[in-house]
Amino acid sequence: MSKDLKDKTPEELEQLVTELGQKKYFAGYIFSFIHVENATEISLITPLSKAFRQKLIDQGYYISALTIARKLEDKDGTAKYLFTLEDGNQVETVLLPESKRRTVCISTQVGCNLDCQFCATAKIGFRRNLTAGEIADQVETIEADSGKVTNVVYMGMGEPLLNYDAVMKSVKLLNHVEGKNIGIRHITISTCGIAPAIKKLAQEKIHPRLAVSLNAPSDELRTRLMPINKKYPLAGLLKAIQDYQDDTRQRVTFEYVMIKGLNDSAENAKTLVKLVSGIKCHVNLIEYNPHPGCDFAGSGSESIKKFAEVLEYAGIETTMRFKMGRGIKAACGQLGADMAKE
């Protein structure tokens, strides 16, 4: 069992303090000091007696903390953080300021093993999963450094649903009323399409928003871009999404990276319309963001507009995403580009 207090829910903390002979409500002090006051040392949780704080330390309990190794800021306001974990591994996280919203795009794994062809993180390979505490701490560290966070998207390095338990635990930590209290409708989990995990997600008591990285309207093209499609082809994936929607009554977002000459034709758009018909959805069109080691090119604004017109004519709500963070390699698909190069 983890000795990291940042990795524990209030219920787990209650169990811990009672097992150590203390009052159950002491757990609330620990949780709020860690997740609201950003305490990184047990000695700083002053409502606890010195004797109990020392007992926790003596038994090996601690509070993990990310280290900001580098922070880059783009002229559009985007900030990219390189965090060093306690074992020396590193992940990147992005802060996106948009009017009154301040969204943090967080990572769930060090690297990724899904080998999506348009994604720089794939070049790193998979190193390990993050803990729930490490996932939530990206939000907490950025908030301490740069101000209030309003939205969280699990769209950084790694596949969230291949680190399912830690991801869902981190959602509960961030959503908890005694912690950051980020509303569940302001939290989005993005997945490459792990169909069984989508079905599992539907059975949870709380439901963050769901986004699915689709990127192609046919199995042949999607498998070329995203090898995970071999394991979870479109028919099964869309069935899982439809079941998720039936169970949760929530609209699903489809993310579609626009790659010049590959998946951006009018025929591709018409096929996509047929594919998602019957699913209440929103489509985000994202121009491919270049990075070293990949020869793709972005579709360009005119091609993206024509693609969007086909979807909108069919009644599908569509958004063309802005290219925020390109100047610091913080845009979609670029995280880990510098790490892979190094």
Catalytic positions: 92, 332
Instruction: Give the ranges where 109-154 is alpha helix by DSSP (H).
Output: 132-146
Closest CA to 135 of 42, 66, 49: 66
Tracing tokens 């096929």 back to the chain, one arrives at 271
Other residues' Cβ atoms within 10 Å of the Cβ of residue 267: 9
DSSP-assigned letter for residue 95: E
- Whole-angstrom distance, CA of residue 302 vs CA of residue 308: 10
In whole angstroms, what is the distance from residue 112 CA to residue 71 CA? 22
Asked if 44 contacts 50 with a C-beta cutoff of 8 angstroms, the reply is no
Strand ordering across the sheet containing 67-73: 67-73, 79-84, 90-98, 101-105, 151-154, 187-191, 209-213, 252-258, 281-287, 317-320
Nearest to 145 by CA among 214, 73, 215: 73
Q: Between vectors from CA 212 to CA 319 and to CA 267, what angle results, nearest 5°?
A: 60
DSSP strand pairing (209-213 vs 252-258): parallel
Cα separation, 18 vs 159, whole angstroms: 36
Burial 6-37 (b: 16+ CB within 10 A, else e): bbbbbeebbebbeeeebeeebbbbbbbbbbee
